[in-house]
Structure 1
Amino acid sequence: MTRLLAFSLTALMLAAAGCNKESTELPVDGRDFDGVGYSTTAVYSGRVIDGYLREARVWLDVDGNGQYTPGPLTLALDSGINIVLEEGEPTAMSGAGGQFRLDISGLARDAGEAPDLDPRSFALFAVALPGRTLEETASGDRPVERAFLLSAPPGVRNVTPLTTLARHLGLMGVALGDDSTRELAALLGSINLYGDYVVAGDHRAHAYARAFARYLAGQFPDSANAVLAAGDGTETVLGASEIFLLGASLVRGAPDILRAVDEAAPSGRYDNVDVAEVVLPGVAPDLTNPVLLRRQRVSAVPDSGDLPTGSSHLAISAELVFDYQADGRLISITADGCMMPSMIEMVRLANADGRMAATGTQWRPTLSLAPASRTFFDQKGADERLAFDWSARRATFETTTSCQPGLAAGSELGGQPAVTWQWTLDGEGRVASITDGTRTLIPDYGRISAGFLGYRLQAGEVLEEEVAVVGELQDCEATLAAEVMAAGRVISAQQSYTFAGHDPQPAQFTALQLDLDLRNGFDRLLGYSFLDPALAASAGLPDSNGFRWHFVYPLPGSLQYVADQPDLIGEALLAGHSADLSCGTDVSSLPSSLFGRVQFEYQTLSDYLIEQLQ
């Protein structure tokens, strides 16, 4: 299993806390000390603005973690010297007109110890406190109903929703006008992201800022909001990754927010816009920052000879890329080469409301054995796409290949789908059935082991396939010897199941067992067998005696292991059906004669969002 780390969130936060020079160039607006000397004995002042915000907590983020840090605070300078700020980060409450004055005398150092710390090297943060912070408006002071967090790039001393957008663009390594932000730049036009739009009388910028503030407040966690409602803003309520994800969500949602405000001001009278009535995008980020499946690399054609073959003789035939919303919901799976959409995986994901991390093992593999998959993989561009509309309970599939029996290939992706699946829910919010209009799959929730579901698949009234999980779970962990318990891949439990519907069914395809590893709190499916004559026929194989998936998971303590998500598959091997082993067997030795191999790559949600914007 490979975890993709194109950019590390930790590295970004350290960069912000070290030299504190974020990539967005800062104009003079909002800075009082460009080109002149500056003494750290002076007061560091500025404004907090939505409208002007009074009684908001403001602080200078000296350690770069995005939250107020009390003293004593130890800082490691680039020179290798450690210094201590006894009073912690400079902080104050804003007053009338949103003005704040920070006592930065603690940033002055003894000449023999280290240079004075320049406050312009650090980002300013402000948090609006529900019920306490007041927004100054033409009709009087209005209490803030819900908390939201604002920030500004280093050196900028107006702290506003617009400077918050600018700072997070910088943290993500993008600038307005880049390919990824061209639309955003066009919508903002000549808006000054760093200035005081209230004193400038810029109603358009003010309307945008108020919409951003409302969006940030709507995404602020309820638990954190409750703490701040009873506190004074010095409480630690969010971690660095949570703060980053809130900012990333603002960046991703900004174009839709701006368009919504523009539509509310058709005559260009932004002073008349009632931001409270503007319909804003509602995708809140998953602040747990889960690790998500990003790619499956499929090797399922022999470089010479026939299938099955050794792992080293399997050539890559497809690559599947998984894309997400900021809330961790899967948007689509795009294939370079051919994929085999799985109705049962759609069911598992729909039962998790589209949130991949909530499925545990995430998307279990399927693959195409059609030799044409390699041909399409070698050609440039995406070939197939499975897309999801969770609110409509619908999935659609497009293909430009000849791999799918009975489906007409389109000339390019983006046209009419070749297949549409629709599902219904039962009284418990689970999928009751899913159909493509011809075939219907009905899940069986009577017994579930490691996320393995029974089901009936039928075409009209004709039963095509039926899987049933039967009997009681057989757990043998208590009988395992110490050396077996320490092994990497052990069958510690088994669950019987039946597989029927294919006639004639091979005589040896009976007494089937799910092999499970439930040690140490795992919920891992190690392997199971299945029949699929169509899959066999796609590779020109004779009547199949069945296939078997073997799943391999990273070992605890390895670089690939995710402690909070221990059941992520690292690799899956497709072999022929074999006799079931007994509970307690060490299965570290894997089959060498294979039909296919699927390698999994993962990425944290925050790193995925950074990658998308770059």
Structure 2
Amino acid sequence: MKRLISVTVPLLSLAIAGCGDESDDLPVDGREFDGVTYSERAPYQGRVIDGYLNNARVWLDLDDNGQYTAGPVEIELDSGNTHILEDGEPTVMSGPGGRFSMDVSALDVPPSIGANLDPRDYPLYALAIPGQTLEERSYGDEAVSRAFLMSASPGVTNITPLTTLARFRSLAGQWNTENPIPDNRFADLDGINLWKDYILANDDRAHAYARGLARFMASQIPDGYNDYLAGNGSDGSEASLLPRDGVYLLGYSVVQNVDEVIAIVDAAVSGGNYGNVDTDTLVLPDVDVEVSNPRLLVSQRISARPTRSDTLPTNTSDLGASAELSFEYSEGGRLLAVSSRGCMGISLPEMARLFQADGYMTNLKTQWLPSAALSPQSAIWYDEEGVHERLEFEWENGVASLDTVTTCHEQTLGVTPGGTELDGISDISWVWDDQAGTLVESVPDRADDRELKVESANSPAEVLDGEQPPLDLVSGYQLTEGGGLEAAVEFAGGGASCAPQGVAPNDTERNGQYATRLFPFSFTSDVAASDLFGAGAYEYDLDERNGVSFARLLRFPFLDRATANRPEVDSANGAFQWQLFYDALNSEELDVQRPNLLKTAYLVDFVATSDCGDGPLDRPGRAYATVEYEYQSLSDYLLDRLSE
């Protein structure tokens, strides 16, 4: 999967001028008219273009959802009144030459409630329908083989791949800005007017770029949606089946990848003649788009700096920030990299869990179970702005690597940084074998590799997970170094289930977290630690209240002797436990579709396992570290990246 590409958005005003042969048709630059007056209600006219596209569905997007909306549609007027379009948004099929003439008389508003609506205030959309829409080629008409969706900014009536680029560049460029920026400032691409009819203007270069982008856009349409349109004699009114967020993600992906598409088209040019470029044969970027627009973990703030003492644990109120992690994603919601200011904690079980999810955080019920580096070096580096560690993934190859400039992992993992700047050279590497369920960790100057083998028998992953994501993927494991056992967690039986103590079955808004499902395990290691966790268990809260079903991991213990041996860590035996807290069921911030998203985690000493039904579980007063989670929708994340 490719990385995100930064796109520079031009901010200089452009003189958008027509070019090409004179014509009685619409102005070549795509505006609806040349004059400054607009009096008599007339059909709203324009063109749909890749080549000229006949029999494409065109509509005026009055409710700004990127979908065709059938009636009735309610529009709130500036007067505060509501105008109702009983037949839905104005729509029409394009004809020969890609021309459309749309009846917009439904935008006439009774004078008693407000002024008429102006079609130039709303964006246009056009859907090319596989097997139905015909592209006019030099050798005759050809049915498009795959659907693609195009748009144009308000007032622009040419609808092309290039107007789509201009529209979503404008939306991205104006994200988080206080003052509106005119759309025409985003309508230039290396001297090309993105709004124009490039066929009428005889602009082979613009036409080649448009055709390349059209193919790229078609490749991103979900297969199920494309197949539905192709197999049901569609007239394009099913445009409402794509969710609004998905429509916008498709548009932002065009902005994100336009540089690469154009570079591929440019490389195919011979003798400067763009007219001879066969865009059908180009190998374009293969970029999935997650049109469901999931919420994804975008940052973690780790506090493991004791502010009133020299050792950990300490009062949670006395923990200061020591690291901040930033997560990077593709348009498909796949994790590409994690950057850290300060040091990140390394958890082999969690790395294996991510590989099992194939890098898609949205495949996990709980995203990125916590870990933390307790080295005081992390806080020292945190006080220096910048990126000090970077974890990158190559999911197709089952590989991950960490580049660091810190000494945080020298004592715990034997890692010596390769330099004072991140150089892209791996200081730690991991290789995942999906068939064997093993993850091998290698450090250049360390004598032996460590290997984690996933053991799923009787685990939460085996008991709780179905066939479809999101999945729990919490399993047992066997961890070895140089062939010798370091630690092993083996789950025994399916565990006990019970009702939350003191909570009535019909209490739909119970507060607090309860240990309603225990998954007992046995722990072994290379030291006499068979009784280290006693009757240990992974504690879950499984319930359904008020229509919200959840399976939340609350507590899980683990052994980390290397961290316990640090002089600033006051741990008797290296037996730690993470305690996890989520949004309350009656919280306004609760995502009912994703109720298992972590809010805060606490690293504490393991003391004892809860009794089944115990709760509500209290937040600890003392801890080695806390981890705070922040989430964002995929579309908002991409917009933030594009507007940087």
Return the TM-score normalized by structure 1: 0.90
Q: 1:277 to 1:207 in 2, by over 3 A?
A: same
Contact 1:466 1:499 in 2 (8 A): yes
Question: In structure 1, what is the equivalent of residue 200 of structure 2?
Answer: 199
Contact 2:47 2:159 in 1 (8 A): yes
1:137 aligns with 2:137: yes
What's the CA shift for 1:72? 3.0
Name the CA distance, whole Å, in 1 between partners of 2:212 and 2:106: 36
Q: Choose from 385, 403, 422 the match for 1:413.
A: 422
Q: 1:540 to 1:583 in 2, by over 3 A?
A: same
Question: In structure 1, what is the equivalent of residue 24 of structure 2?
Answer: none
1:117 aligns with 2:117: yes
Question: In structure 2, what is the equivalent of residue 65 of structure 1?
Answer: 65
Q: 1:539 to 1:84 in 2, by over 3 A?
A: farther
Name the CA distance, whole Å, in 1 between partners of 2:286 and 2:588: 35
Q: 1:593 to 1:364 in 2, by over 3 A?
A: same
Name the CA distance, whole Å, in 2 between partners of 1:78 and 1:317: 50
Q: Choose from 292, 298, 305 the match for 1:294.
A: 298
Deviates more, 1:37-46 or 1:567-576: 37-46
Question: How do 1:242-261 and structure 2 match up within 5 A?
Answer: 242-261=246-265
1:451 aligns with 2:473: yes
Paired residue secondary structure (2:457) = strand
Question: In structure 2, what is the equivalent of residue 12 of structure 1?
Answer: none
1:498 aligns with 2:506: no
Q: Which runs of 5+ in 1 are unaligned?
A: 1-21, 176-183
Contact 1:40 1:105 in 2 (8 A): no
What's the CA shift for 1:117? 1.3
Question: In structure 1, what is the equivalent of residue 323 of structure 2?
Answer: 318
Residue 50 of structure 1 aligns to which amino acid in structure 2?
Answer: D
Q: 1:432 to 1:40 in 2, by over 3 A?
A: farther
What's the CA shift for 1:185? 9.2
Q: Choose from 478, 496, 499 the match for 1:477.
A: 499
Q: 1:31 to 1:487 in 2, by over 3 A?
A: closer
1:576 aligns with 2:605: yes
Q: Choose from 525, 547, 555 the match for 2:553.
A: 525
Per-residue Cα deviation, 1:25-65 (whole angstroms, up to 9, x for no partner): 89362114244211352121111000000011111112222
Deviates more, 1:195-204 or 1:552-561: 552-561
Paired residue secondary structure (2:289) = coil
Contact 2:312 2:568 in 1 (8 A): no
What's the CA shift for 1:480? 6.6
Question: In structure 1, what is the equivalent of residue 564 of structure 2?
Answer: 536
1:153 aligns with 2:153: yes
Q: 1:70 to 1:188 in 2, by over 3 A?
A: same
What's the CA shift for 1:431? 3.4
Question: In structure 2, what is the equivalent of residue 435 of structure 1?
Answer: 441
Return the TM-score normalized by structure 2: 0.86
Q: Choose from 234, 240, 243 the match for 1:239.
A: 243
Q: 1:71 to 1:590 in 2, by over 3 A?
A: closer
Contact 2:299 2:631 in 1 (8 A): yes
Per-residue Cα deviation, 1:193-228 (whole angstroms, up to 9, x for no partner): 000111111111111111111111111122322333
Name the CA distance, whole Å, in 2 between partners of 1:25 and 1:269: 26
Q: 1:23 to 1:282 in 2, by over 3 A?
A: farther
What's the CA shift for 1:312? 0.4
Deviates more, 1:479-488 or 1:190-199: 479-488
What's the CA shift for 1:454? 1.0
Name the CA distance, whole Å, in 1 between partners of 2:560 and 2:529: 11
Q: 1:540 to 1:86 in 2, by over 3 A?
A: closer
Deviates more, 1:443-452 or 1:347-356: 443-452
Name the CA distance, whole Å, in 2 between partners of 1:574 and 1:157: 58
Paired residue secondary structure (2:456) = strand
Name the CA distance, whole Å, in 2 between partners of 1:599 and 1:258: 41
Per-residue Cα deviation, 1:336-362 (whole angstroms, up to 9, x for no partner): 111122222121111111101112101
Q: 1:39 to 1:337 in 2, by over 3 A?
A: same
Contact 1:325 1:331 in 2 (8 A): yes
What's the CA shift for 1:400? 0.7
Q: 1:162 to 1:218 in 2, by over 3 A?
A: same
Residue 252 of structure 2 aligns to which amino acid in structure 1?
Answer: A
Question: How do 1:269-348 and structure 2 match up within 5 A?
Answer: 269-305=273-309, 306-348=311-353
Question: In structure 1, what is the equivalent of residue 401 of structure 2?
Answer: 396
What's the CA shift for 1:69? 2.1
Name the CA distance, whole Å, in 2 between partners of 1:189 and 1:290: 34
Question: In structure 2, what is the equivalent of residue 423 of structure 1?
Answer: 432
Paired residue secondary structure (1:248) = helix
Q: Choose from 260, 265, 272 the match for 1:268.
A: 272
What's the CA shift for 1:325? 0.6
Name the CA distance, whole Å, in 2 between partners of 1:91 and 1:66: 13
What's the CA shift for 1:266? 4.4
Residue 458 of structure 1 aligns to which amino acid in structure 2?
Answer: T
Question: In structure 1, what is the equivalent of residue 16 of structure 2?
Answer: 27
1:510 aligns with 2:534: yes
Deviates more, 1:249-258 or 1:259-268: 259-268
Per-residue Cα deviation, 1:217-269 (whole angstroms, up to 9, x for no partner): 11112232233332211222212111101111111111111111111114322
What's the CA shift for 1:391? 1.4
Per-residue Cα deviation, 1:84-134 (whole angstroms, up to 9, x for no partner): 223332211111111111112222233333212111111111111111110
Residue 421 of structure 2 aligns to which amino acid in structure 1?
Answer: E
Alignment size in residue pairs = 582
Contact 2:517 2:542 in 1 (8 A): yes
Name the CA distance, whole Å, in 2 between partners of 1:291 and 1:138: 46
Question: In structure 1, what is the equivalent of residue 178 of structure 2?
Answer: none
Question: In structure 2, what is the equivalent of residue 383 of structure 1?
Answer: 388
Name the CA distance, whole Å, in 1 between partners of 2:569 and 2:105: 79
What's the CA shift for 1:588? 2.7
1:602 aligns with 2:631: yes
